[in-house]
Amino acid sequence: MTTAGLDPLAAFRVDDRVAIVTGATSGLGERFARVLAAAGASVIVAGRRADRLGRLAAEIHGVAVPGDLADPDAPAALVDAALARHGRVDILVNNAGISHIESALTEPSDEYRRELAVDLVAPFELSRLVARSIIERGGAGSIVNVASVWGLVGVGQIPDAGYAAAKGGLVNLTRELAAQWARQGVRVNVIAPAFFRTEMTDERMFQDERARIWMGRRTPMGRGGEEHELDGALLFLASPASSYVTGAVVPVDGGWTAV
């Protein structure tokens, strides 16, 4: 068997595809947008901070669509903007998320509902809007949901019942949508990261010595993740490299959920 002309990395390219990335104003979402753009996609970035979003869009030659996914009208506005600009969406990365760390005994119900709205309901709305557009044009596409180890196990010592409930729901929503749409060309998978340094986690987890020691002891690899360590999982699930993969849960957690 000859290897002439064989390029295994070509399957990870997303040239000429259109991608939406939510929660792209900082952290993992910003990184996801840059990675997809570098791999050839035209990227629509969404988030609440218009100034940051605009700068990112300019740098990656993408399109910025500011908005708050807690607003029930925001998902449709985002998908409509993408379709108006490019005529289609091939990749959706449901990354936007919020957190409210507080004991379940005292967490206000309004905060719990807001977490569910942003972390679970909005991904559902975006997923079905994108899936409809893909199915109607007879195409193929990939939805990548970003959950968390909170969606797979309880953490307890960092109490956030709303986040855990939403991410757990997102994991099984992924499986259900994957099963519903598998024969219609839409793949749905989920990444479940552990602790990565972001705006949300930097001060509380990475700059706090006690938290850093706790995280290291609990994680078999002894450390939190670096942002580039999600690149491979993202490109695998978003690209044709995973053309026979749907409904998969991919923990990127340093072994957190293995023990």
pLDDT (0 to 100) of residue 140:
96
What count of other Cβ atoms lies within 10 Å of the Cβ of residue 146? Answer: 27
pLDDT (0 to 100) of residue 55:
97
Q: Which CATH number fits domain 14-196+230-250: 3.30.200.20, 3.40.309.10, 3.40.50.720, 1.10.490.10?
A: 3.40.50.720
Among candidate residues 32, 112, 150, 163, the one labeled active-site is 163
pLDDT (0 to 100) of residue 230:
97
For residue 163, indicate whether it is catalytic: yes
Q: What residues of the chain score a pLDDT lower than 70?
A: 1-5, 202-203
CA–CA dist 93, 231 (Å, integer): 13
Residue type, 129: L
Write out pLDDT tens, residues 68-121.
999 999 999 999 999 999 999 999 999 999 999 999 999 999 999 999 999 999
- The answer to whether 29 and 21 are in contact (CB under 8 A) is yes
Tokens of 88: 């289609």
pLDDT (0 to 100) of residue 73:
97
Question: Where in the chain are the domains?
Answer: 14-196+230-250
Q: Which among 17, 12, 11, 9 has a CA at the least distance from the CA of 43? A: 17
Q: Which among 175, 167, 187, 178 has a CA at the least distance from the CA of 253? A: 167
The DSSP secondary structure of 38-50, one letter per residue, reads HTT-EEEEEES-H
pLDDT (0 to 100) of residue 108:
96
CA–CA dist 168, 191 (Å, integer): 12
